[in-house]
Structure 1
Amino acid sequence: MADELSERHEVTVFANRCERPADARWDFQPVRAWRGNALATVRTFPIGLRSLATKLAAFDIRHSQGYCGGQPNVVTAHICLAAYLDSLRDISLQSRTSLRLMAAAEARFYSRYEGRVIAVSQKTADELQNFYEVRGPISVIPHGVDATRFSNENRGRDRASARRQVGVNDGDTLALYVGDLTKSHSYLKELSAAAPDVQFAIVTASPAYHWKGANVRLIPPTSEIERYYAAADAFVFPTTYDAFGMVVLEAMASGLPVFSSDRAGAAELIESGKDGLVFPLDEWVEATAAALRNPESLRSVGCEAEQTARRHDWSTVVAAVEQVYFQVAGCVSENDTENANANRHERATTRGHSAGSLTDSLRPGASSEQESTASSHRPMTTVAFIVNGNYETAMGYRARDLAARLGQFDVLIAYRSTRKIVSILSFFIFLVRARPKVTYVFDISYSGVLAAALYRIVFGNRLVVETGDAIVELARSTGSRGRLRLWLTSVLENTAFRIADRVVV
């Protein structure tokens, strides 16, 4: 993602460790953390980020991969630890205790978090809502696959040598499993016994749950896993829990029929019976053993699987994530985002000029010709919504609900950032770009009112201001503001009422 995003924007990766190619366009910022075990890393990485708070504050988008500190405004949920813990039965007390502590930390994070969430599967999105009561909008954006590295074309180059390495004959059916045995070992053991004529290659780093069988070969992890995909005739994945399961998409891209349980997020990408097979866990062994006896069907499903995987390359994922960034930065409307998601190969082509200028420098639209074509279909009246709050606030929801009801207008929405001066400038630039006939300001606050008033003075459009309170009287009655702040609030309220063409209460 960093490679492709850095072609258009300035990107810095904050991590404890990172493999950065010499020709990379993105920067790397080391973060201190103790990597004694997973729990230690989770606990100490946010501490390391605190020392970099000033650097992080300069970015419009702070995208966290899971909960790891740094005050993110976009988080990708790669797992729901509470759901994973709930799925486990046969694990050690030490592992269960460690997972409980991490799940508790994850729950606390989501209880306080107010930004955007990206889930790698609908399964994960549902789990976040059920276990952590996440109620804000969740964008489901599945992982992508490197279709160049994982391809059916590897068979011609690697299949024969890889099968010799595994120790199977050309005429044997070879089923492959890649991953942690904690979540699948019992079903794999049953399958290897139920299908004695099938050879099994198990690539795993798991030190436990090993078993011996005449048709089973345990293989240590390798950096050339694509060779084993090329050697195999099918991919088996009886997981008890996987938020996604990258290996499923890798196997599909390699032209393999995937036999997955219904507990994997990646199974959502499979149309069972066409480009893969998905079975409930209690039926998985019997159904998979029967299907592995039909080589012709395996080849047909594998061909369909490869075509499906090609639609999920990383460029598609990056484009979808980029639209979330635009939305968070307030420089794209809800309708624009929906259109972009329908055609995710469109790109934002303007490169950011500085780390703190995302709102100013990023804009959807692949070319001026496309923008001209799109604008020819727009309604005559463009309305700009200025929301004095972020995407998750009640005003944000109200603005989007109202926009959805105004189908006869072209409604563009911008949201306030956490910094007032930046928000005034961002709002004004947004208005200059949008050139609305009407500006509608949700709630009276400095950034929205001043930006809208300045634009009205310069360009002479219509201005509507909505307020839920007589803010001066409210502040006076509650005693929540000192004399100076009360006077400034009065000036702001009077300015808004005088310059507005309409006031909505």
Structure 2
Amino acid sequence: MRIAVLGRTFSRQAGGAETYAVEIAEELAAEHEVHVFTQSTDQPVQGVTYHRIWCISPRPRWLNHLLFAWLTWRATRKGFDLVHSHELTWHGQIQTIHVRPVRFNLFVGVTNWHLLARWLKVLTSPRLLTYVVLEAARFKQKFVVATSEPLAVECKKAYPKTHIEVIEPGIRLPTSRMEKNHAKSHLGLEPDRKLVLFVANDFARKGLDALLGAMVLLKEQAETDPTFKLPLLMIVGGGLVSINSYQKKADLLDVGSDVRFEGAQKSMATYYFAADVLAHPTLEDSFGMVVLEALAHQLPVLISGMPYCGVSAKLQELSGVQILSDPRNSSEISHSLVFHLKASVASLSADKSKPNPMNLSASLDFLTQYSWIRSGERYVKLMHLIYAPV
């Protein structure tokens, strides 16, 4: 098949949704002719053809969405057997949904005059009207895919007449391991200082504000408890504007010297091996791929529970996983981090004949169900239902 893939940004460094699009395209490219239509890419997949779509400016975002939809419609309306869209577009036989629908946020659970007020707000806002109209067009397609079960539930509430398929992300297990102190040395870190890892591009939505608040509380504890040493918070991802803004916030909270911003990274393995815990107090994550990546590297995780993080519902029984009831609560985050950091110390000197609460071998067994090959095969099955040459 000759397949067009639509995504404004096509790069593993851009975030979970973008990584999902890249990985699925890579699986499809193994057997099909894949063309990627994008505004920005580092060309992460070999063997596909890249088409650069014109972008006046990323802002305002709603206008860029509209321009991207129109230009990709013109570019792909002929010459392709199938169009797979990861964006707000009215075209594309397969539409993959990565985030909560706009219609869900605006209208689900809203009644009477409140509903009328919401519609008036939409009709008087070019931004909201564009999102609502483009999204409604997406959900009219026959094949709509959600990337997690919780997201599929939200999609069904917003668009009850649409059939929603669920194809979750995959994971690539590391083929080799790096000793923790070696990984820390590679990153220029002290071997005896604990490391809390935070990975995100959208710092606010993924809970960095509350995590910085937790660092303040941890610093207070370190000043009064001689047995506790303040960990380093390492932040991977984000753009220059976000990094500068949050560095100023950290400085104002007097934890600036205990926070290190690394920016976007092509390879995360060294960071996972160096860290002692991944903190992911997200406020909205349809799945949470970074959590699975951390577990694949046998890194304990602290994550938001439902409804904030979709994957949390699947991880409640796993060792090395602690789930936050309120990701906005810096006190809960700090207490949970103390538990993880002390548990990691205890596990080094624990009696090996006793159960280890930080033993993540069960997590590796759990992760075998998440395969990009399997996810790609499910997309191929959908595509064959659409494209069935005689």
> TM-score higher than 0.5 here?
yes
Who is 1:79 aligned against? 99
Partner of 1:209: 246
Shift of 1:294: 0.9
CA contact (8 A) 2:102 2:135 kept: no
Q: Deviations over 1:353-400 (max 9, x none)?
A: xxxxx313xxxxxxxxxxxxxxxxxxxxxxxxxxxxxxxxxxxxxxxx
Shift of 1:225: 2.5
Contact 1:276 1:305 in 2 (8 A): no
Are 1:16 and 2:16 an aligned pair? no
In 2, Cα distance between the equivalents of 1:291 and 1:22?
37
Q: Percent identity?
A: 20
Matched position secondary structure for 2:382: helix
1:239-286 Cα deviation digits (max 9, x unpaired): 111222332222122211111002122324423443522221154443
Deviation (angstroms), 1:124: 1.7
Checking the alignment, whether the CA contact within 8 Å between 1:34 and 1:40 is kept in structure 2 is no
- For 1:108, the equivalent position in structure 2 comes to 133
In the other structure, the counterpart of 1:278 is: 323
1:290 to 336, 339, 342: 339
In the other structure, the counterpart of 2:169 is 143
Matches within 5 A, 1:433-448: none
Q: In 2 relative to 1, CA 30–119 (structure 1 residues): closer, same or farther, beyond 3 Å?
A: same
The SS at the match of 2:246 is coil
Task: State the 1:67 CA deviation.
Answer: 1.6
Determine the C-alpha separation between the residues in 1 that align with 2:189 and 2:265. Answer: 19
Q: Is 1:255 equivalent to 2:314 in the alignment?
A: no
User: What amino acid is the match of 1:116?
Assistant: F
Change (3 A) 1:275 1:291: closer
Q: 1:129 to 1:167 in 2, by over 3 A?
A: same
Letter in 1 for 2:191: D
Superposition CA RMSD, Å? 3.0
1:226 corresponds to which of 269, 283, 292: 269
CA contact (8 A) 1:177 1:237 kept: yes
Counterpart-to-counterpart distance in 1, 2:288 and 2:209:
18
Taking a change above 3 Å as real, the CA distance of residues 83 and 202 of structure 1, as seen in their structure-2 partners, is farther
Q: Which amino acid aligns with 1:75?
A: Q
1:134 Cα deviation from its structure 2 partner: 4.3
Paired position in structure 1 for 2:6: none
Task: Report the equivalent of 2:153.
Answer: 126
Aligned twin of 1:491: none
The structure-2 alpha-carbon separation of the partners of 1:217 and 1:52, relative to structure 1 and needing over 3 Å to count, comes to closer
1:233, distance to aligned residue in structure 2 (A): 1.5
Deviations 1:162-193 (A, max 9, x none): 42365543233222111132121232123223
2:319 and 2:358 in contact (8 A); partners too:
no
Query: 1:86-108: CA deviations, max 9, x gaps?
Result: 8xxxxxxxxxx9xx866543432
| TM-score normalised by L of structure 2 | 0.69
Q: Distance in 1 between matches of 2:283 and 2:211?
A: 12
> What SS does the corresponding residue of 1:3 show, helix, strand or coil?
helix
Q: 1:242 aligns with which of 262, 271, 285?
A: 285
Asked whether the 8 Å contact 1:176–1:201 carries over to 2, the reply is yes
Distance 2:198 2:52 in 1: 34
- Does the aligned pair in 2 maintain the 1:111–1:134 contact within 8 Å? no
In the alignment, does 2:374 pair up with 1:311?
A: no
User: 1: distance between equivalents of 2:153 and 2:324?
Assistant: 20
Q: Which runs of 5+ in 2 are unaligned?
A: 1-23, 107-121, 220-228, 348-355
Cα distance in 2, alignment partners of residues 84 and 203 from structure 1:
30
Q: Aligned ranges for residues 71-470 of structure 1 at < 5 Å?
A: 71-80=91-100, 82=102, 104-112=129-137, 113-130=140-157, 132-148=158-174, 153-156=176-179, 159-164=180-185, 166-179=187-200, 180-183=202-205, 184-196=207-219, 197=229, 198-205=231-238, 206-207=242-243, 208-210=245-247, 211-212=250-251, 213=255, 215-262=258-305, 263-274=308-319, 276-281=321-326, 282=329, 283-295=332-344, 296=347, 299-301=358-360, 303-327=361-385, 329=386, 358-360=387-389, 426=390
Corresponding letter in the other structure for 1:111: A
Q: What's the CA shift for 1:129?
A: 2.9
Q: How far off its partner does 1:51 sit?
A: 2.4
CA contact (8 A) 2:215 2:334 kept: no
The answer (yes or no) to whether the contact 1:200–1:217 under 8 Å persists in 2 is yes
Residues 1:55 and 2:53 aligned together:
no
Amino acid at match of 1:48: L
Structure 1 position 18, deviation (Å): 4.2
Q: Which amino acid aligns with 1:292?
A: L
TM-score w.r.t. structure 1 length? Answer: 0.55
Do the aligned residues in 1 keep the contact of 2:155 with 2:164 (CA within 8 Å)? no
1:32 aligns with 2:58: no
- Cα–Cα, structure 1 residues 42 and 134, in superposed 2: closer, same or farther, change >3 Å? farther
Are the aligned partners of 2:62 and 2:130 in contact in 1 as well (CA < 8 Å)?
no
Q: 1:103 to 1:79 in 2, by over 3 A?
A: farther
**Counterpart of 1:278 in 2: which secondary structure?**
strand
Cα offset, 1:23, TM superposition: 5.2
Partner residue in 2 for 1:371: none
Q: Which residue of 2 aligns with 1:352?
A: none
How far is the alpha carbon of 1:222 from its aligned partner?
2.4
Q: How far apart, CA to CA, are the structure 2 residues paired with 1:81 and 1:22?
A: 29
Task: Please state whether the residue corresponding to 1:12 is helix, strand or coil.
Answer: strand
Which one has more relative contact order, counting CA pairs under 8 Å at least 6 apart? 2
Offset, 1:161:
4.8
CA deviations on 1:388-446 (whole Å, 9 max, x unpaired) are xxxxxxxxxxxxxxxxxxxxxxxxxxxxxxxxxxxxxx4xxxxxxxxxxxxxxxxxxxx
